[in-house]
Amino acid sequence: MAIELYNDGKHVCLMFNDLVDDSASSAVQANQFLIVSDGEGALIDPAGNMTYNALIMAVSKFFPFKQLKYIFASHQDPDIVASLNKWLMSTDASLYVSTLWERFVPHFCTLNRWEGRIVGIPDPGMKIPMRDTDIHCVPAHFLHAEGNFQFYDSKAKILFSGDMGASLVAHDEILRPITTAAEFQAHLPRMEGFHKRYMVSNKPCRYWARMVRTMDVEQLVPQHGRYFKEAIAAFLDWIEHLHCGIDLITQDHYRLPQ
Ligand SMILES: [Fe+2]
Ligand SMILES: [Fe+2]
């Protein structure tokens, strides 16, 4: 199912939430995103090989996929961009990814297909104009990858936040956004364990939350699970106080297994 996050007739943001078989023993649910701005197309975090065919079919209902111009990858994980080789074969798109991963993601590829088509995003980020919007590559380093970007669509006022804000739910639980602080509290058990392990420490969470508060964000949309509207403030209040990752590590985590 395509969830329409924004549509003003000229600029459209879509989320695909059900392209991965996320039944109990299978792969983790993941969201993929299509932005079409006045006839120009971009994918955000298109995921891996198991999703490629379904995503082609889903995208084609809205945009001729061969004409995609941009692929944005928040980081280098398999659920983000393991399908890179196929997208480079079937389109003329360029991949934008952190300079830290620029020379690692070609390991997903064959036949030198990546040459001249991978753009490294520098640590401070960058702004990429699409026709009716700007896509801001927003620093989110160590949340969770060492070089990590989120993508802010300034027209739609959507922050595509990668693994930040992710929850582990089945795809059919992602029918609508989280809109109240009470609903956020009820949702917390689906997020807490993930953030405690996959986010590196409290420090980048705190700096990131402060940055997001200065931005005009109407929807915060992670790459797994449910997305946020009015409950964004509740999420920021929670994450900036969360102790996670290396904050929780002790010597007990480093002992020779017997
Ligand atoms: Fe990840
Ligand atoms: Fe992920």
Ligand 1 center from residue 143 Cα (angstroms): 9
Q: Is the pLDDT of residue 258 over 80?
A: yes
Ligand 1 center from residue 258 Cα (angstroms): 30
Ligand 2 center from residue 9 Cα (angstroms): 30
Question: What proportion of the chain, given as a percentage, has pLDDT over 70?
Answer: 99
Give the pLDDT confidence of 119-161 residue by residue, as tens digits. 999 999 999 999 999 999 999 999 999 999 999 999 999 999 9
Of the candidates 140, 177, 136, 139, the residue with the CA atom closest to the CA atom of residue 154: 136
Q: Is the pLDDT of residue 111 over 90?
A: no
Burial of 169 (0-12, 13-18, 19+ CB in 10 A): middle
Ligand 1 center from residue 256 Cα (angstroms): 27
2-253 has CATH 3.60.15.10 classification: yes
Ligand 1 center from residue 158 Cα (angstroms): 19
Ligand that comes closest to the CA of residue 166: 2
Ligand 2 center from residue 208 Cα (angstroms): 18
Residue whose structure tokens are 């790459």: 223
List of residues 6+ apart from 77 with CB closer than 8 A: 145, 163
Ligand that comes closest to the CA of residue 47: 2
| Domain residue ranges of the chain, discontinuous segments joined by + | 2-253
Ligand 1 center from residue 113 Cα (angstroms): 24
Output the pTM of the full model: 0.96
List of residues 6+ apart from 132 with CB closer than 8 A: 10, 11, 37, 38, 155
Ligand 2 center from residue 31 Cα (angstroms): 9
Ligand that comes closest to the CA of residue 79: 2
Q: Is the pLDDT of residue 176 over 70?
A: yes
Give the pLDDT confidence of 221-242 residue by residue, as tens digits. 999 999 999 999 999 999 999 9
